[in-house]
Structure 1
Amino acid sequence: MVHSLVNCAKRDPEVNEDTEKNYAELLTEELKQREAASMEKHKRVDTGLLEAKKITSSYQKEADKCNSGMETCEEAREKAEKALVEQKKLTSMWEQRARQKGYKDGATKSTVKSKSGTEVA
């Protein structure tokens, strides 16, 4: 029995070679699995990055439209403001002319007198 234990403790070159081959195959398989998992993760990250770029581009386009709209609105406001100033000047001029011709605030058409002193209807 001692003899069989001694033989068991000896290294068998054939067993060592098979074990090393199996170990190398297992390591190769594990590396392939890790590489596949890494590639899949990389693909998901690339897809997410592409989607983020698309969303960013969409938001940028919307921001550009908004800015353009604001500029257009501001230009229109400035034009309207200038037109209002011009209209106020014109109104003031016509009011002045009307007063020079005898118009008084609160006067109605039926109570306005002509230069000759008679009421005009």
Structure 2
Amino acid sequence: MANSKSSGSGEIINITKDLLGAIDRRDYDAYRDMTVPHISCFEPETMGNVVDGLEFHKYYFDRFPAEDCPVTIVNPRVHMIGTDGACIAYIRLRQRMNAPGKAVTVKSQETRVWQKINGKWKNIHFHSTASE
């Protein structure tokens, strides 16, 4: 496996940014297009359980408004796994306004696993740990 300086790492960072943008815009069609139907995840909302499939995520897309919050990926580490696999680990910083109208930054540690399927990168698993 190679580190973040390897060929393809810039592409993985960019598609990860695109995916995070789709999440914040609540663009479910774009999110669905960038993931596999059986995506698995661990995230704070799963309460310590691994969850499979898009249905769990669609709930949040349907019920929460889009956010216009800049996302910064800090210190990304990309590991290419052959030509059709990649893993990226990074810190995600999101700038937003809280209820009283104060600017805050929210941090999470995230890892995403990508697989190239039919020539297109798809997110197949992620793990997110919030530390606001």
Could you say which TM-score interval applies, normalised by the shorter chain? under 0.3
Structure (1 or 2) with the greater helix fraction: 1
Q: Using structure 2 for the length normalisation, give the TM-score.
A: 0.19
Between structures 1 and 2, the one with greater strand share:
2
Pick 1 or 2: higher relative contact order, CA cutoff 8 A, min separation 6: 2
Question: TM-score, with normalisation over the residues of structure 1?
Answer: 0.20
Which structure is larger by alpha-carbon Rg, 1 or 2? 1
